[in-house]
Structure 1
Amino acid sequence: MNRRRLISLAWGATALASLPAIAATSLPQVEVFKNPSCGCCGAWVDHLKVAGFPVKVTLVEDTSAVRQRLGMPDRFGSCHTATVASYTLEGHVPAEEVKRLLVLKPKAVGLAVPSMPPGSPGMEMGARKDPYNVFLIDKSGHETVFAAYPKA
């Protein structure tokens, strides 16, 4: 193997090794507003990080005040509220759906998974996976099903 080929292979291997880091930095930061005593919110944060999102956590005593400020109707409330790009995320929204939202760029407030369904990211309970919907909330506060879980 000649020297030029060896250098080319080494450069290619270095570039391939850095792809996960490049992919992670290409996703926008998610800011999560959560109560300091909530453990499942931390598990959801970990889910986002594993999916490649940079995450900033802001501790607040009252997530409903944050929800109201961001335009997410209280009826979709959960244990934490987050922002990403120009969207609001409420509850245990799967990272896959956040990525899809960012690609589709609908005119909407954001996504919500009301309550805390077992089996959603951060609410894992062994093999238990209750069905739940991820709702797209439009600017007037109406919801449509963006995704249904568990996926078939």
Structure 2
Amino acid sequence: MAGLSRPLETELTFPVRTYDIDFAGIVSNIVYVRWLEDLRVRMLERFYPIEPLLARGEGPLLARTEIEYLRPVRFGSTVRGIMWAAGHGRAVFDLQADFEVAGETVARARQRGVFVHYGRMQVMPLPKELRSQMESAPASSRQQGG
């Protein structure tokens, strides 16, 4: 993962498996959602372990996922996924991800989430420790308010 430079940047590789393929012989759109989940979980493991939050009944909740599919991916390919913090507000965070095959971007994704108290399902401010790690996001990409 040398050379990673964006806030919370995380990278994983995903070999395309037979169960990732749809009837047309390409990676099913839903597989990208699973890969986004894998990237987000890895990001939290690396930068902000979630166990202490869960012990308090708090944690992240996704509000939106958008994926732009640029090129089909076929069985036998290895997909490189890169995710990073694209911005944040007081209570929201934005993540961005690119998926590449052989250096070519095949899909782009964006996710928005919040942290909540699970028992009350009440939105809470981003944890201070996580917010400080996201502070290196370019000012133009930071979300205001929220």
Length-normalised TM-score, structure 2: 0.29
- Structure with a larger share of its residues in helix: 1
Determine which structure has more spread, i.e. the larger CA radius of gyration.
Answer: 1
Q: Which has the higher contact order (CA 8 A, sep 6+)?
A: 2
Question: Which structure shows the higher strand fraction?
Answer: 2
**TM-score normalised over the length of structure 1:** 0.28
